[in-house]
Structure 1
Amino acid sequence: MTDSTGETEYRVVADGVEKAFGDNRVLKGVSFTVQRGTATAIIGPSGSGKTTLLRTLNALDRADAGVIRVDDVEIDFATPTTKSEVRRFQSRSGFVFQGHNLFPHKTVLQNIIEGPVIVQKRPKEEAIADAVTLLDQVGLADKRDQYPYQLSGGQQQRVGIARALALKPKLVLFDEPTSALDPELVGEVLSVIKELAVEGWTMVIVTHEIQFARQVSNQVLFTDGGVILEQGPPDEVLGNPKEARTRQFLERVLNPL
């Protein structure tokens, strides 16, 4: 399906995605879509397949079966694929990890331009100009020449976001971006992601921050046992869930005592 500009309405289409690690079936025929310019939050208990699902969207974990399309690149994971096909698929998205994953021996600026220059072969001057703009956007313009160890956890995560955006991806993937942070640092990272949502970046966010998911997302997927049990607008899934398991999960998360 395309819109009036001729662009594909859906940025992501996943159909029947399967993934197992040994005898453990982590994803059991997962299907969903993500519209261009929207944010999708994936919530669910530990071990429900949230992170694995996210990683299949960038082929960091290669699905065993199912079809995934990101922007204009589609892969049927039940059939053999070449390395170049996988690289093209991966180039459509940027990934923000739980633990920052910054190069400790490189400065903030060097971390951000690594992908554009080394992987995308873009001119270094262009990559630096983009990086400076992104650092200003995430509130770290004065940290460009510092090293990761000189930054707080929240600042490191904001660098990680800038690094992902520097690739100019069609899709930005966030794997529990605040889970490794002290509580007092969570807000600064969530505020950056909220700004990205307002700007119309297409995002899929695995998160345990339920109120954040309600505020930032256009769609919520609730996963459990390797399947999507419920999906829809946040007001429905989080405010008036249809499934008993969703209600049970939300009650435990929102009222832990």
Structure 2
Amino acid sequence: MLEVAGIRKAFGDHEVLKDISFTAASGSVTVVIGPSGSGKTTVLRALNALDQADAGVITIADVSVDFGKKVERAQLARFRAQSGMVFQSHNLFPHKTVLQNVIEGPVIVQKRSKAEAKSDALELLESVGLGAKADQYPYQLSGGQQQRVGIARALAMKPKLMLFDEPTSALDPELVGEVLRVIKDLASQGWTMVIVTHEIRFAQQVADQVLFIEGGLVVESGPPGKVLVDPTQARTRQFLQRILDPV
């Protein structure tokens, strides 16, 4: 489903991604961990071309882009349509209802009928536990509920790949669990996902593979039982110790 080969990205003189390569099978969950400033979010943004890579090839399903060459606008649009992104902050339209937020992309971007988009949106809202909130506005929801609307909104575009950028980092601790449960449900349904998170125990439960990134490089990768429990790299062990036992 996903193949990333030799991705590089610099902002000015600062090379954020130096050589990122990995693959992900259809229906698998890839969790990306690493210290702040390691390039984790930039990897996600490169996968959706929010930040276009300077070099390397990314293939999602049957759409492949070589970012070392000139990329035509139509090709880039087709590439971006393959994935849905859930950000740290939910970025909902405050003047639109929950339902209106979810159908915006399918109707405006994909030109689907409003009736079809509404039907799909109501099903998605039910699936994330918010069927009764369709006519409410974002300010009437908790942070966790808003983030679940953000997930439904991304799913409404019917992407092949779901990308999550620390989806619980902006939430109060009591609200983290409700968002993680929705992501677990998506994993059980066979969605292909790449998740950047500091929730290590959550990663152990849902990941098929874990990438530890530092300095714009994949320092270690493998199944969670290996990377998160018995890593081979000293830097991975040091990072996990600081996360799991910060005192």
If the length of structure 2 is used for normalisation, what is the TM-score? Answer: 0.99
Letter in 2 for 1:93: S
In the TM superposition, 1:106-125 aligns within 5 A as: 106-125=96-115
Map of 1:81 onto structure 2: 71
1:133-178: CA deviation from partner (whole Å, max 9, x where unpaired): 0000000001001111111000000000000000111000000000
SS at structure 1 position matched to 2:23 = strand
Letter in 1 for 2:99: L
Map of 2:234 onto structure 1: 244
User: CA separation in 1, counterparts of 2:24 and 2:138?
Assistant: 33
Identity among equivalent positions (%) equals 68
Letter in 2 for 1:61: D
User: CA separation in 1, counterparts of 2:61 and 2:168?
Assistant: 27
Letter in 2 for 1:113: I
Map of 1:180 onto structure 2: 170
Deviation at 1:203, TM superposition (A): 0.3
Letter in 2 for 1:172: M
The partner residue of 1:25 within 15, 31, 34 is 15
Deviation at 1:83, TM superposition (A): 1.1
User: CA separation in 1, counterparts of 2:49 and 2:94?
Assistant: 25
1:35-67: CA deviation from partner (whole Å, max 9, x where unpaired): 100100000000000000011000001000000
User: CA separation in 2, counterparts of 1:178 and 1:106?
Assistant: 23
1:111-147: CA deviation from partner (whole Å, max 9, x where unpaired): 0001111101111100000000000000000100111
SS at structure 2 position matched to 1:79 = coil
User: CA separation in 1, counterparts of 2:40 and 2:98?
Assistant: 29
Map of 1:211 onto structure 2: 201
SS at structure 1 position matched to 2:85 = strand
The partner residue of 1:160 within 127, 143, 150 is 150
**How many corresponding residue pairs?**
247
Pairwise CA RMSD of aligned residues?
A: 0.5
- List structure 1 runs of 4+ shifted beyond 2 angstroms: none
Letter in 1 for 2:160: K
Map of 1:227 onto structure 2: 217
In the TM superposition, 1:5-84 aligns within 5 A as: 11-84=1-74
